[in-house]
Amino acid sequence: MSKLLSIRLVAILVGIGFTVAVLWAFVTGAAAVIQEGELKPATAEHEFHKHPNKYAWSFDGPFGKWDVQQLQRGFKVYNEVCSACHSLKFVSFRDLEAIGYDESQVKAFAASKQVPGVDPATGEATTRPGLPTDYFPSPFPNAVAAAAANNNAIPPDLSLITKARHDGSNYVTSLLTGYQEIPAELKKEFPDFALSPTGHYNPYFANLGLAMAPPLSAGAVTYDDGTDASVEQMAKDVSAFLTWTAEPSLVKRKQTGWPVLIFLLFATVLAYLSKQQIWAAVKPKKRG
């Protein structure tokens, strides 16, 4: 009896010690964060950076699905505006069949693009018309050429951009629609703040200065379905398209998840009923 009491006392003391250690770590950590925040000088980037706006997306939620028309409009914006500087190196031409284009359309589009090739006679590097199996080519032959054409700011590949940024779909849309003049409040509070000579103010970008000039202007593309090509509309469409390039299996994954959850729930109920049936005849032993 005394041995059992000793074990319980030791367990209680260990539990108390563990709780005290956790509380101590929490208190000291919170104090460090508060002290760091107080000591850290305020900056324009900290004060005026904005989180992305929230937009409604057809692919949001557990029952979300792609809006194929929107994906095609977004592809049009990418092809006619963004592809001048940005690549899609993880997307092949034949992937476009997944957003509603047929085989002949994909072949025609691929053939309209020049991709890197090799001269069969000399072995020298050359270009050739694309095939459906080819990936979207980069607009620049290499990083040096990309930097030289863009004031030393190499345009990022957009294949995975919505997964590479937090809240990617909303971030891309907010960024594309967020260009503006430097606010008067910022100039008043931080008179020394200045953009680089090639920078453009955008509060949704981390350092407020974006090397890319505003890429979209109203009517920059003509939509085949007659949708008004406003800046916000194009920004949302190309964001949806880039969400698809980053995770083309997004909707299929959601559709697969529900049957799996239902099966697991059914299996759990079945296992519980089986357990009740198997052990129903066994009476629990009385203690003592």
Report the 10 Å Cβ neighbour count for 221: 19
Residues 6+ apart with CB under 8 A from 254: 62, 63, 64
Give the Cα separation of 85 and 82 in Å (integer).
Answer: 6
Give the Cα separation of 191 and 184 in Å (integer).
Answer: 10
Residue 125 in tokens: 């590097």
Report the chain's C-alpha Rg in angstroms: 29
Whether residue 1 is annotated as binding a ligand: the answer is: no
- Apex 71 CA angle, 137 and 93, nearest 5: 30
- Written as one letter, the residue type at 19 is T
Place of tokens 């190499």: 154
Closest CA to 175 of 127, 211, 149: 211
Residue 152 in tokens: 């030393």
Binding site as annotated, residues for heme c: 82, 85-86, 212
